[in-house]
Amino acid sequence: MAVPVATPPVPTRLKPLGSVVVVLGVLAVAFVVVSLATPRPGTAPERQRPAVPPPVHVPTASHDVVYELIGTHGARNVTYAAEGTSLAQQEETGTSWTKAFTRVGPAGRTEFYSVSAQNAGPGSLSCRIVVDGVVLAEHAVSGEGRQVSCAA
């Protein structure tokens, strides 16, 4: 019977220096790529802004508006369409009462004008709406507590 003979280990050879250089080169390239792709603290990546359309020029028109209340004993609860789209109200006023302002808006837009009030005493109370010097609406009532309204 034969006795197994142990074979001596083969001495390991050091890898050639060229392989080490290649590995180090690959690691260096990877480091550079990662450092360029990672944002630095305090800096944000540049974002592309959405395209903003150029402003559109809308022609405007202005209108001189005059609301009038004419009566003998004053008016209560005066309500009118003011500048823009807001409504305004005045609890009580003497007559003759006038509210004048200029309304500016897109040219060609239909405008709404309105004034109403309650007669504060006997006699008559009338309202009138004048826009750009032209009377658009006129109305009158008689009797205490009666409501007068003009709209155009």
Q: Where are the domains of the chain?
A: 61-151
What would the two tokens of residue 52 be? Answer: 């903003």
Residue whose tokens read 């197994």: 4
For residue 96, whether the previous peptide bond is cis, meaning omega lies within 30 degrees of 0, is yes
Asked if the 61-151 domain carries CATH number 2.60.40, the reply is yes
Model confidence pLDDT, tens digit, residues 52-102: 777 778 898 999 999 999 999 999 999 999 877 789 999 999 989 999 999
Distance CA(41)–CA(44), nearest Å, equals: 8
User: In the 8-state DSSP scheme, what is residue 148?
Assistant: E
* pTM more than 0.75: no
